Structure 1
Amino acid sequence: MRFKLGEDVGVVPDEPSGAGPDLPRNEPRRRGEEEVFFGRALIGDPRNDENTLVSQLHCTMLRFHNKVAEVVAATTPLTGDNAFKETQRLVRWHYQWVVVHDFLTRIVGRAVVDDVLRPETLVIGTRGEQVTVPRPHFQFYAPQQTAYIPVEFSVAAYRFGHSMIRGRYDINQFVKGARGGQGPIPVFGPELPPDELSNLNGFRRLPPQWAVEWDLLFDMPGSQVEAQPSLAIDTSLAGPLASLPASVAADPPHSLAERNLQRGLRLGLPAGTTVARAMGITPLTAKELGLDDLDGELAMHPPLWFYVLKEAELLEGGQALGPVGGRIVAEVLLGLLAHDPLSYLSVEPAWRPQPPLARDDGSFDVPQLIRFAQQP
């Protein structure tokens, strides 16, 4: 079973740059001549359509699923629902592999991942064959019954990525050339009619020739294009994130930083220094955090989200999370996999991606996922 894709937005004859599918969408609604509803994406989580880059990544995952379905059809006798379930398994396991071995190792460091997923040698079969598999060992993530996502993760530590977002992006060579001296496109901007192409706002049909070329965002092997790097993990956010459009933030405040801090306060998150002490980590001082000129309470008990960002900036040069943020992110993501009875860590912990989905050497990462998804 294949997922439906949206319309192909390439419209310039003989111009491949910027050509590609959109997400599947409802038809736009009109009031007279005015388009009042831009076409809702037919996907499980509408938040994946809040920005052009995110929606195009979601579309890439749909395309990856469809290509995996072709492999299942060509290499197994499975049909119908059984073929779909096998396709689901392969897509999920490859995505999980990317999260563990491509994403987490970059964001928290290989040492933290290896400390949680420790090698364990098992003896299997009647011949006593030995196999080494990763076994999770958690210091803090300990669900009593079912897996969960703690607020320290969802409202603070995992929001580190907000500081990595650039204010502007080039999305493909055609649009880059067509914009000329205007430069890259702002990641967010004021709500405008869908034919106004001045920002990367989502919740609208993909404009013509706007399909993302991923070598501008990832280091794609063989590409001569220099990818746009993310910003450092620190306490600064790009300008457009200070004024989110109403489609993303319907109610004030519209500053992403302010929204994050207020949400942490409303949910009663512990301070960053409190969490550090609870984890047995010496907390950063008020002076190190740059808060020594503030009142005592805030200086001694900084918001957890701020602490995670500052810790990454000071201890890892903004290139990875520090000990508090990194441990929270690693243990929650790996904990969710460990407590999922259908994940590769639970079902077949020694599993590895194989060709044709993986490269010939067995390696698999985001660039390889994209390459496979975009095959003719």
Structure 2
Amino acid sequence: MLFGTKQNNRDLARNSHGTALIGDFRNDENQILSQLQGAFVQMHNILMTALKEDESMVPAAFSGIRAEAMAQGIKPQNGVFQAVRRVLRLHYQWMVMHDFLPAFVDAHVLKDIVAKFAVGGLPKPFTKDSPVMPIEFSGAACSFGHATVQNDPLTIGAQTLSIEDSRKLPHHNVFRDRMTLELASDQQMARLMHVPEIAATKELTTHGISKTPLWYYCLHEAESHGGKLGPVGCTIVAGTLLRLLSLDPDSLLCSAHDFKPWTTLGASKAGNFSLGHMLACVEPGRDAIAHADDLITG
């Protein structure tokens, strides 16, 4: 995959207008996301180099994959590319399931949700007809950044916004999911999930708000779960991500074999694998990528 520019060989590949050549341009909106995108591109290229040098590793990449997928999508001329694609995807899915989710969702709730998916079930209120990316997830439960909005004046470039502009931002976040997106309150979501409700906080009731906005409720709920998402937040966030995996018959969740991260990609001997492990593999390996000069743009 293209990576690097003549001005910066550690940057994402870019066209003549400076636009990053990636699938989702939003991943170039801030430095951290841009660097993460670049790390995965480099990891792909490291894998391409390794598997081209030793194609005996290719069959291991397809362990547990459906027979019809092999017949329909894996062609001899692009077997290495498909193998790399699958290996990297499985490692990413492993990080989501075993590192990312456990880091911020309640362990007991997550265990129950995983158990339901393991037997083909779905946690309430998910149904087989539910959207794969429900608005309750994209518009509320995953929006942890709302908690960082301050009432102080904001500076954008050389322009300083007045206090009265800036004070509208928290109010906008409070009402956005109810007014704009028309989401249910989290007390209503708790009833749908058959879990105990948490009453609106004093900060809300003193302003006449009796029904907690969904995103705010997830944060409030986390206070009683060691700082991790509780039953409502965990069910929406983990349920959405795990359902996406359950709908892909070639995913880590549906694989016919017990996949373990590869130690050659930085996983520990005990099988642990995290973003830190991956980056530790990318750092020394990116300078040995085959055809690196041919991948640079600009």
Give me the TM-score of the superposition, normalised by structure 1: 0.61
Which residues in structure 2 correspond to 1:178-257 (within 5 Å)? 235-237=147-149, 257=170
Q: Distance in 2 between matches of 1:102 and 1:354?
A: 15
Q: Distance in 2 between matches of 1:375 and 1:8?
A: 21
Q: Distance in 2 between matches of 1:8 and 1:240?
A: 41
Cα deviation, residue 118, structure 1:
2.8
Residue 143 (str. 1) matches residue 132 (str. 2):
no
Cα deviation, residue 348, structure 1:
2.9
Deviations 1:125-174 (A, max 9, x none): xxxxxxxxx55542222223x861111111000112x15xxxxxxxxxxx
Cα deviation, residue 238, structure 1:
6.0
Residue 323 (str. 1) matches residue 231 (str. 2):
yes
Give the corresponding residue for 2:271.
362
Give the corresponding residue for 2:52.
73
Q: 1:344 to 1:116 in 2, by over 3 A?
A: same
2:258 to 321, 326, 350: 350
Cα deviation, residue 237, structure 1:
3.2
**Which amino acid in 2 is paired with 1:53?**
I
C-alpha contact (below 8 Å) 2:39/2:282 kept by paired residues: yes
Residue range with higher mean Cα deviation, 235-244 or 263-272: 235-244
Q: 1:256 to 1:355 in 2, by over 3 A?
A: farther
C-alpha contact (below 8 Å) 1:73/1:83 kept by paired residues: yes
Q: 1:42 to 1:289 in 2, by over 3 A?
A: farther
Which residues in structure 2 correspond to 1:64-103 (within 5 Å)? 64-76=43-55, 80-103=77-100
Q: How many residues align?
A: 256
1:281 to 177, 195, 199: 195
Q: 1:83 to 1:44 in 2, by over 3 A?
A: same
Partner SS for 2:249: coil
Residue 308 (str. 1) matches residue 218 (str. 2):
yes
Structure with more of its chain in strand, by fraction: 1
C-alpha contact (below 8 Å) 1:338/1:345 kept by paired residues: yes
Q: 1:368 to 1:331 in 2, by over 3 A?
A: same
Which residues in structure 2 correspond to 1:251-266 (within 5 Å)? 257=170, 260-261=173-174, 263-264=176-177, 265-266=179-180
Residue range with higher mean Cα deviation, 256-265 or 339-348: 256-265
Give the corresponding residue for 1:169.
none
Which residues in structure 2 correspond to 1:125-144 (within 5 Å)? 135=119, 137-140=121-124, 141-144=126-129
Q: Distance in 2 between matches of 1:260 and 1:291?
A: 13
Give the corresponding residue for 1:44.
23
Unpaired stretches in structure 2, ≥5 consecutive residues = 59-75, 158-164, 286-298
Q: Distance in 2 between matches of 1:67 and 1:259?
A: 44
Q: Distance in 1 between matches of 2:233 and 2:46?
A: 36
Q: Distance in 1 between matches of 2:281 and 2:52?
A: 16
Residue 156 (str. 1) matches residue 140 (str. 2):
yes
Q: 1:25 to 1:93 in 2, by over 3 A?
A: same
Q: Distance in 2 between matches of 1:242 and 1:350?
A: 50
Give the corresponding residue for 1:222.
none
Cα deviation, residue 72, structure 1:
2.0
What percentage of aligned pairs have identical amino acids?
A: 32
Residue 267 (str. 1) matches residue 265 (str. 2):
no
Give the corresponding residue for 2:242.
334
**Which amino acid in 1 is paired with 2:188?**
T
Q: Distance in 1 between matches of 2:78 and 2:36?
A: 26
Cα deviation, residue 349, structure 1:
5.4
Cα deviation, residue 239, structure 1:
7.8
Q: Distance in 2 between matches of 1:40 and 1:155?
A: 27
Q: Distance in 2 between matches of 1:153 and 1:27?
A: 36
Q: Distance in 2 between matches of 1:58 and 1:256?
A: 29
Partner SS for 2:233: helix
Give me the TM-score of the superposition, normalised by structure 2: 0.75
Unpaired stretches in structure 1, ≥5 consecutive residues = 11-19, 29-38, 121-133, 164-234, 246-252
Deviations 1:236-269 (A, max 9, x none): 4368996678xxxxxxx98875664454222210
Q: Distance in 1 between matches of 2:235 and 2:7?
A: 42
Structure with more of its chain in helix, by fraction: 2
Q: Distance in 1 between matches of 2:280 and 2:153?
A: 30
Cα deviation, residue 366, structure 1:
0.9
**Which amino acid in 2 is paired with 1:150?**
P
Deviations 1:97-135 (A, max 9, x none): 000000001111332232122399xxxxxxxxxxxxx55
Q: 1:69 to 1:267 in 2, by over 3 A?
A: same
**Which amino acid in 2 is paired with 1:306?**
Y
Q: 1:336 to 1:240 in 2, by over 3 A?
A: farther
**Which amino acid in 2 is paired with 1:281?**
V
Q: Distance in 2 between matches of 1:277 and 1:157?
A: 16
Aligned alpha-carbon RMSD (Å): 2.9
C-alpha contact (below 8 Å) 2:116/2:123 kept by paired residues: no
